[in-house]
Amino acid sequence: MRLAILGGGQLAWMLAQAAEPLGIAVAVLDPSSDCAAGRIADHVVAAYDDPDGLDRVADGADVVTYEFENVPAAAVTRLAERGVPVLPFPASLAVTQDRVREKELLAGLGIAVAPYALIDGPDDFPAALERVGAPGILKTRRLGYDGKGQVRVAAADDLAGAVAGLGGTDLILEGLVAFERELSIVVARGADGAIAAHPPVENEHRDGILACTLAPAPGLDETRRAEAERIGVAVAEALDHIGVLCVELFDTGSGIVANEIAPRVHNSGHWTIEGAVTSQFENHVRAVCGLPLGDPAARGATAMVNIVGSEPPLEDLLAIPAAHLHLYGKAPRDGRKLGHVTVTAAAADALAAPLVRVRALCDAAWRT
Ligand code: AMP
């Protein structure tokens, strides 16, 4: 089999790593000549909306998938014209590219979301503030990631400046959720509708970027664990999603509120490479290639720490026996994810000591 991936970054690289032992060849389309996945997969260097590039990456492919949600609609249309299946289906993209459609889907499934209001200009301010109140978070309706395209609005007076700063239209104002911590749920859904849900995890962000994931989420009671899983499964089924998706969640202490959906493998699922029986990457490949899904259960306790901005001393990291290093081969740059470290242990109490050492090294190297 041959799998084409739109995007050749670290997610595509880890998908290609998972595909290889399954006997599945991978080609990626990425405009950058030295993308992470290009190290191990065939690489077509072209823009995502370049018809010739799309034709070349799809040539001989049984299925096309993607590593990012902002795939241009023109790309999907071109691939559809060639008759190559695009999985997850384009509907998953259409909904998750738009925060409003995403929230409507979630709310329609009985899932709690933050209150929100649309803002297309100053005329909308009074109604938005009445509905949502301040403080709130103003977000672009489309094309936001890693906390970009959003700004906190502490008081009503801040709104006009914040709206102008984000382009003036096509924004949403969200009420601030008073959460105790952030969680996420990563779910794979097979072509036959089978579901493989990894345990919910706890995520800590720094500067709007994921810094650390703890898996499974420590101290999550059965009610909230089941609600997190229900959310992941309900979203996957409602979208008729084939492949992996992630729902980012807030744990308010008394319940779970959904924040946003990523229709793809997710940074908060990187721990599954060493920490789950079957990784998110392998299950995504299996799903889009029409193969049975593997067991998503955790093997023990796992933490994932991102390397952002600059590399920590690698020999010091590798001197920690429980640490597993994944470097994406990217040049250091402020705010850029350069790699991650997974720390594994049989149980949570044995994770603490090596995690402290890994975090100290990665936190010191963090640059944004
Ligand atoms: P997002 O781009 O929507 O994933 O938001 C990035 C981060 O901003 C989240 O991980 C939260 O830490 C924070 N955030 C976003 N929306 C809200 C909200 N409605 N209430 C509180 N915090 C939020």
* Distance of alpha carbon 192 from alpha carbon 348, whole angstroms: 35
Closest CA to 250 of 120, 140, 150, 114: 114
Query: Can you give the pLDDT of all 368 residues of the chain as single tens digits?
Result: 999 999 999 999 999 999 999 999 999 999 999 999 999 999 999 999 999 999 999 999 999 999 999 889 889 889 988 999 999 999 999 999 999 999 999 999 999 999 999 999 889 988 999 999 889 999 999 976 666 788 999 888 889 999 999 988 899 999 999 999 999 999 999 999 999 999 999 999 999 899 999 999 999 999 999 999 999 999 999 999 999 999 999 999 989 999 999 999 999 999 999 999 999 999 999 999 999 999 999 999 999 999 999 999 999 999 999 999 999 999 999 999 999 999 999 999 999 999 999 999 999 999 99
Check pocket membership of 133 for ligand 1, CB cut-off 6 A: no
Q: What is the largest CA-CA distance in the chain?
A: 59
The pLDDT of residue 143: 79
Check pocket membership of 251 for ligand 1, CB cut-off 6 A: no
* Distance of alpha carbon 289 from alpha carbon 294, whole angstroms: 13
- Determine, yes or no, domain membership for 354: yes
Q: Are residues 342 and 232 in the same domain?
A: yes
Would you say 210 and 239 are in contact if contact means Cβ atoms under 8 Å apart?
no
Q: Which atom of ligand 1 is nearest to the CA of 144?
A: 2
The residue out of 142, 157, 175 marking a domain boundary is 175
Q: How far is the CA of 270 from the centre of ligand 1 (A)?
A: 20
The residue out of 128, 154, 175 marking a domain boundary is 175
What does each C-alpha distance from 301 to 199, 215, 216, 241, 349 come to in angstroms? 11, 6, 7, 28, 9
Q: Are residues 195 and 298 in the same domain?
A: yes
Check pocket membership of 138 for ligand 1, CB cut-off 6 A: no
Q: Are residues 245 and 298 in the same domain?
A: yes
Check pocket membership of 147 for ligand 1, CB cut-off 6 A: yes
- Determine, yes or no, domain membership for 274: yes
Closest CA to 321 of 288, 350, 349, 343: 343
348: domain CATH number is 3.30.470.20
Q: Per-residue pLDDT tens for 86-137?
A: 999 999 999 999 999 999 999 999 999 999 999 998 899 889 999 998 899 9
The residue out of 67, 86, 105 marking a domain boundary is 86
Q: Omega of the bond prior to 321 within 30 degrees of 0, cis? A: no
* Distance of alpha carbon 365 from alpha carbon 322, whole angstroms: 20
Check pocket membership of 176 for ligand 1, CB cut-off 6 A: yes
Q: Are residues 248 and 327 in the same domain?
A: yes
Check pocket membership of 248 for ligand 1, CB cut-off 6 A: yes
Q: How far is the CA of 259 from the centre of ligand 1 (A)?
A: 7
- List the beta bridge partners of residue 350: none
Total of domains in the chain: 3
Q: Are residues 66 and 122 in the same domain?
A: no
Q: Are residues 332 and 286 in the same domain?
A: yes
Within 13 Å and on the Cβ side, how many CA atoms surround 112? 14
Check pocket membership of 174 for ligand 1, CB cut-off 6 A: yes
28: domain CATH number is 3.40.50.20
Q: Are residues 169 and 191 in the same domain?
A: no
Q: Which atom of ligand 1 is nearest to the CA of 149?
A: 2
Check pocket membership of 144 for ligand 1, CB cut-off 6 A: yes
- Determine, yes or no, domain membership for 241: yes
Q: Are residues 25 and 145 in the same domain?
A: no
C-beta atoms surrounding 185 within 10 Å: 30
* Distance of alpha carbon 35 from alpha carbon 134, whole angstroms: 42
Domain that holds residue 8: 2-86
- Determine, yes or no, domain membership for 100: no
What is the gyration radius of the CA atoms in the chain, in angstroms? 20
* Distance of alpha carbon 340 from alpha carbon 348, whole angstroms: 19
Q: Are residues 276 and 150 in the same domain?
A: no
Q: Outline where the chain has alpha helix (H).
A: 10-19, 51-58, 73-82, 90-96, 99-108, 125-132, 159-165, 222-238, 272-275, 280-288, 314-318, 348-365
- Determine, yes or no, domain membership for 96: no
Q: Are residues 171 and 192 in the same domain?
A: no
- Determine, yes or no, domain membership for 98: no
Q: Are residues 252 and 218 in the same domain?
A: yes
171: domain CATH number is 3.30.1490.20
For a substitution probing ligand 1, which of 259, 260, 261, 306 has the most ligand atoms within 8 Å of its CB? 259
Q: Are residues 141 and 264 in the same domain?
A: no
Q: Per-residue pLDDT tens for 202-215?
A: 999 999 899 999 99
Residue-by-residue DSSP string for 180-211: SEEEEEEEEE-TTS-EEEPPPEEEEEETTEEE
- Determine, yes or no, domain membership for 93: no
Q: How far is the CA of 142 from the centre of ligand 1 (A)?
A: 14
- Determine, yes or no, domain membership for 17: yes
